[in-house]
Chains A and B, each alone.
Chain A
């Protein structure tokens, strides 16, 4: 990362941190929602944009993280329940699902990941100990010494720190030798295998890392909302993350957050003017796939002439 880009990133984070001082409750909540979905979309981008694994079941880890956080926070509202347990549970789920899913690729990978996430949806939808259709409600935010997470600003700072940590982790992963191997697998899997890389192990590890980060996003979503329903597992949740990554620009991490911002702003702003936001969203997405496959980031680079 060059000095200029580092400076820009720091300025953006400071700006996001100061936002609650300048804005009212609603815009701040909107920003928090964007940040949470941004984490989720970034974790999917690690799979899609770098490892070339398009998953239609990423909601599985978002949901596992969310449900585990909801159960744990209801028992003991601390940071272990809020961060550690959901991340570990989502990582384990990713290990199992990944073990089976990485054996196939392309359309079959899409279908298998989709089937696994739908199994979770079907299960949570039907069992009473997870609240069935209504999900789990009334979940307290964790208690943390020195910071009041129940307050808007306290939660904002906490969320921002976690977003930055997640982004740094993912950025570190994609710029490490491991990340370069993932890109190699994306370009030509057979060649990487011929070069002696244990391709399956790399793919599985990427899948687990993405699962852990998605689980964290799911947990933050529960802390933000105070509730979770089986919809978290539904394939539309995976699909929306996919929309965010594509609109933002695959393989850029930052683009995933921009995509999340575009998606949520579109959803909330357009829906205040017209009921037809889904139509506008669908049309926007179609136009992006047709005319701007590089997403917002790709379009910006093309315009400004920056190359990564």
Chain B
């Protein structure tokens, strides 16, 4: 494999695991609540900005990596309890539209608090250099992102497939009403899943900060690739989210390098083709 191809593949992998961290929250929320959370990009943006402030205040990236997602998760829980819950009896699209309103709200809040400029976020000291790997020179932070993202993927699989909480979530995704009938407080699970998904969105924002910086339209920019990942992989599927992210990450990175004229087009064509041929996505449940 030529050196530049290897380097591109690693960049694509870093972008892919970033998309995974983001889209997994989106897909969990959809699977559980049947809500396509258009404000998910906003959680990503809030995570990046909260990370920025926490790093500026404490100088500790690792503290920000833990605290910022918690803060975003709390915001998610508040939104679910106050705004989404009253809408569960309405047509599902009302909930989608509600989350659309939050895009405007949060983007302006961020501009208000942090201003409209691009703010760069320094990587942690430990990963501020670059390493030579197979002849390609890679910022070591990207390698950290890849390892961290893949580790998170394993943890999430264990959480969903091997724990009691995961079993409840899987049951809720499969049939929320039936799960409630079995004595599970499904409303509390809904809030928890939404908050957890939001926190993952915030986490991916903190992780993305040192690579992509923080700017007010970052949430809107990342939302579309994340939605594409979820649709390609299959709404509600954890495995689909992982495979879809890695696929889209590579497609976009290599597209930019080899076909700059068509790079933005490629991922939309991939998605449209998949929705037409296999509407439920690669790993989604068949449509009812």
A56 CB to closest chain B CB (Å) equals 9
A93 CB within 8 Å of chain B: no
**In the bound complex, do residue B272 and residue A116 qualify as a contact, i.e. CB atoms below 8 Å apart?**
yes
Q: What are 10 contact pairs spanning A and B, CB under 8 A?
A: A108-B279, A110-B36, A111-B271, A115-B275, A277-B108, A282-B106, A282-B107, A282-B108, A289-B87, A293-B90
**Shortest Cβ distance from B34 into A: residue:** A107
**In the bound complex, do residue B272 and residue A286 qualify as a contact, i.e. CB atoms below 8 Å apart?**
no
**Shortest Cβ distance from B270 into A: residue:** A115
Q: A118-B224, A127-B261, A282-B105 are in contact. Are A110 and B96 (CB under 8 A)?
A: yes
* In-complex Cβ contact of A285 among B100, B106, B224, B272 (8 A): B100
Instruction: Report how far A119 CA is from B270 CA in the complex, Å.
Output: 11
State the main secondary structure of chain A at its contact with B: helix
Residues of A within 8 A of B109 (CB): 279
Instruction: Report how far A100 CA is from B269 CA in the complex, Å.
Output: 13
**In the bound complex, do residue B220 and residue A236 qualify as a contact, i.e. CB atoms below 8 Å apart?**
yes
**In the bound complex, do residue B272 and residue A289 qualify as a contact, i.e. CB atoms below 8 Å apart?**
no
Which B residues, 130 to 187, have Cβ-Cβ distances below 8 Å to chain A?
none
B103 CB within 8 Å of chain A: yes
A123 CB within 8 Å of chain B: yes
* In-complex Cβ contact of A119 among B30, B86, B96, B265 (8 A): B265
B114 CB within 8 Å of chain A: no
Instruction: Report how far A229 CA is from B70 CA in the complex, Å.
Output: 39
Residues of B within 8 A of A82 (CB): none
Residues of B within 8 A of A110 (CB): 36, 96
**Shortest Cβ distance from A48 into B: residue:** B93
A235 CB within 8 Å of chain B: yes
**In the bound complex, do residue B268 and residue A115 qualify as a contact, i.e. CB atoms below 8 Å apart?**
yes
Residues of B within 8 A of A118 (CB): 224, 268
Residues of B within 8 A of A115 (CB): 228, 268, 271-272, 275
Interface digits, B110-134 against A, CB 8 Å rule (1 contact, 0 not)? 0110000000000000000000000
A37 CB within 8 Å of chain B: no
Which A residues, 255 to 281, have Cβ-Cβ distances below 8 Å to chain B?
275-279, 281
**Shortest Cβ distance from B90 into A: residue:** A293
**Shortest Cβ distance from A277 into B: residue:** B108
B195 CB within 8 Å of chain A: no
**In the bound complex, do residue B94 and residue A289 qualify as a contact, i.e. CB atoms below 8 Å apart?**
yes
Q: A106-B92, A278-B108, A279-B108 are in contact. Are A289 and B97 (CB under 8 A)?
A: yes
* In-complex Cβ contact of A54 among B93, B101, B227, B261 (8 A): B93
* In-complex Cβ contact of A112 among B100, B102, B265, B272 (8 A): B272
Residues of B within 8 A of A293 (CB): 90, 94
* In-complex Cβ contact of B268 among A119, A242, A246 (8 A): A119
A102 CB to closest chain B CB (Å) equals 11
**In the bound complex, do residue B86 and residue A290 qualify as a contact, i.e. CB atoms below 8 Å apart?**
yes
* In-complex Cβ contact of B83 among A108, A277, A290 (8 A): A290
* In-complex Cβ contact of B104 among A103, A104, A285 (8 A): A285
A87 CB within 8 Å of chain B: no
